[in-house]
């Protein structure tokens, strides 16, 4: 079977050799559409949800967007790093274990091989698999244009439904995450309509630390329950300093459920999402009492 790709047929492809060259092209009056893995863009064009752009600017070959580098307590991931590279990176596995789990559930191997962390953020979908993790890892998004570079905390970068803090002439260059602190634990769960190759109905991440049965810190985020991925500040504020008891867990579950206003769509219902938002928080907290390693997540594909 041959395949016709309306996106590719209709668009001119620009292939800059370096980031400055790419930024110069982005500075033109009608900037081209950046193309990373194309795993969202090409599907959107093919489905008629988006008009094929006149010009595409390929990011794949830019050396500045590659690379994953560890500093003291952070890991800087180039925007062009693919899910597959992130998943198999030794430093990321140790420092950002929840990210490894999150990218493992993005599509299947083909999508993971093509898709990039920068592309996932730029797509701005509230169901994106990466943003909730970046929220609990206090990530900073680095964007660049010919005017210079901006460092934007992820919670400010995600503005609204499919709206991010990225100007038409800017490119996402890197994402820097705080590594899991000593003694802390993080985990993740995605509920999709099937075991793999699925867009989430809801997903969440947490990072927390319990000392002598008392919650010292707890960050929790959810995706697919609001126009963007969100943290749950009320739940977090309630939990810090509390003993990890059934009473605490029940109240956190109630608070989490009460604090989200999800919608019904083709994947799930508002009512179920609202209920299960609380259930995920319960599951995250219970994982501390069980003392099991890592996350609550179900198995990723090709793990």
Partner 1 sequence: MQTKEITFKHVGQGIPRRDGDEKVRGLARYVDDLNIPDCWYGVAVRSPVAHGRLKTLRYDPAFDFDQVCVVTPEDIPGKNIVDMMGQDMPFLAHDLIRYRGEPLALVAAPTRQLAEQAAAHIQPDIDPLEPLYTLEEVIALHKTDRSKLDELSAQTIIKGSVDEGLAAADKVIEGEYWAGHQEQLYIEPQGMVAIPEKDGGVFLQGSLQCPYYIAPELIVTLGLPLEKIRVKQAAVGGAFGGKEEFPTLVAGYCALLAMKSGKPVKMVYDRCQDIRYSTKRHPAWMKYRVGLKNDGTITAIHVDFVLDGGAYTTLSPVVLYRGILHTTLGYNCEHVFVDGRVYRTHTFPDGAFRGFGAPQAIWGLESHMQECADALGMDAEVFRLKNYLRAGDKTGTGQVISAEMDPPAVMLETLKRSDFVNRRTLNTYGVPRDGKFFGVGVAFFGHGSGFTGDGEMRLQSKAALDLDWLPNGKPGVNIRISSTEMGQGTLTIMPQIAADGLKIPMACVDCPLPDTKYVPDSGPTVASRTAMVVGSTVYGAAEKMKALLEQYASDAFFGGHPCHLEDGVLTCSAVSQSQTFEDVARRLLEEKGMQRVVHQFKLPDTVVWDQKTFKGDSYPSYSWSANIVEVEIDALTLEIKLKKATSVWDIGRLMNPVLAKGQIEGGLTQALGYALMEKMGIRDGLFDADRMQTYVVPTSLDTPEFDIHFMEYPYPHAAPGAKGVGEIPMDGLAPAIANAIKAATGIRMNRIPITPESLWEAMPSTRKEIAS
CA-nearest of 200, 196, 195, 201 to 272 is 201
Computed on alpha carbons and rounded to an integer, the radius of gyration of the chain in Å comes to: 19
CA-nearest of 255, 269, 181 to 225 is 269
Which of 116/125 has CB closer to partner 1?
Answer: 125
Cα 300 from Cα 25, distance rounded (Å): 38
Q: Do residues 220 and 235 touch, judged by C-beta distance below 8 A? A: yes
Which of 50/60 has CB closer to partner 1?
Answer: 50
Which of 236/253 has CB closer to partner 1?
Answer: 253
Which of 81/280 has CB closer to partner 1?
Answer: 280
Backbone φ and ψ of 204, nearest 5°: -155, 160
Question: Measured in whole angstroms, how far is the alpha carbon of residue 175 from the centre of its chain?
Answer: 11
Which of 146/258 has CB closer to partner 1?
Answer: 258
Virtual torsion, Cα 40, 80, 185, 235, nearest 10 deg: -50
Cα 72 from Cα 29, distance rounded (Å): 40
Q: How far is CA 36 from CA 42, 45, 111, 194, in A?
A: 11, 15, 12, 26
Which of 60/272 has CB closer to partner 1?
Answer: 272
Q: Which residues pair with 231 in a beta bridge?
A: 221
Shortest gap between Cβ of 39 and partner 1 (angstroms)? 11
Shortest gap between Cβ of 196 and partner 1 (angstroms)? 5
Residue ranges binding partner 1 (CB under 8 A): 1-2, 4, 43, 46-48, 191, 193-199, 254, 257, 266-269, 271-272, 274-276, 278-280, 282-283, 299, 301
Which of 27/196 has CB closer to partner 1?
Answer: 196
Shortest gap between Cβ of 96 and partner 1 (angstroms)? 24
Locus of tokens 């960050």: 219
Shortest gap between Cβ of 216 and partner 1 (angstroms)? 24
Cα 6 from Cα 153, distance rounded (Å): 36
Backbone φ and ψ of 67, nearest 5°: 100, 140
Strand 214-223 and strand 202-211: pairing?
antiparallel
Shortest gap between Cβ of 278 and partner 1 (angstroms)? 8
Shortest gap between Cβ of 289 and partner 1 (angstroms)? 12
Give me 149's structure tokens.
């570079």
Shortest gap between Cβ of 110 and partner 1 (angstroms)? 13
Which of 66/254 has CB closer to partner 1?
Answer: 254
Give the CA angle between residues 232, 128, 195 to the nearest 5°. 100
Shortest gap between Cβ of 107 and partner 1 (angstroms)? 10
């Amino acid at each position: 079977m041959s395949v016709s790709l309306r996106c590719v047929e209709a668009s001119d492809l620009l292939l800059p050799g370096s980031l400055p060259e790419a930024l110069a092209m982005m500075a033109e009056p009608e900037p081209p559409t950046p193309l990373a893995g194309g795993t969202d863009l090409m599907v959107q064009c093919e489905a008629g949800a988006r008009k094929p752009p006149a010009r595409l600017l390929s990011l794949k070959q830019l050396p500045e967007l590659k690379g994953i580098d560890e500093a003291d307590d952070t890991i800087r991931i180039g925007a062009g790093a693919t899910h597959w590279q992130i998943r198999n990176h030794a430093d990321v596995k140790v420092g950002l274990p929840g990210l490894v789990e999150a990218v493992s559930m993005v599509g299947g191997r083909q999508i993971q091989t093509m898709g990039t962390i920068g592309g996932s953020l730029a797509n701005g979908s509230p169901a994106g698999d990466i943003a909730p993790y970046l929220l609990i890892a206090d990530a900073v998004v680095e964007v660049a244009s010919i005017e210079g570079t901006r460092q934007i905390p992820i919670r400010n970068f995600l503005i609204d439904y499919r709206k991010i803090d990225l100007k038409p002439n800017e490119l996402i260059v890197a994402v820097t995450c705080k590594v899991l602190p000593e003694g802390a634990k993080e985990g993740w769960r995605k509920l999709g309509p099937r075991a793999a190759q699925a867009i989430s109905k809801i997903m969440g991440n947490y990072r927390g630390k319990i000392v002598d049965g008392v919650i010292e810190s707890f960050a929790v985020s959810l995706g697919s329950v609001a126009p963007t991925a969100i943290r749950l500040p009320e739940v977090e504020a309630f939990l810090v300093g509390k003993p990890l008891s059934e009473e605490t867990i029940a109240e956190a579950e109630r608070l989490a459920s009460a604090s989200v206003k999800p919608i019904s769509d083709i994947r799930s219902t508002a009512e179920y999402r609202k209920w299960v938002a609380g259930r995920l928080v319960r599951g995250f907290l219970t994982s501390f009492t069980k003392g099991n390693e890592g996350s609550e997540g179900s198995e990723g594909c090709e793990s």
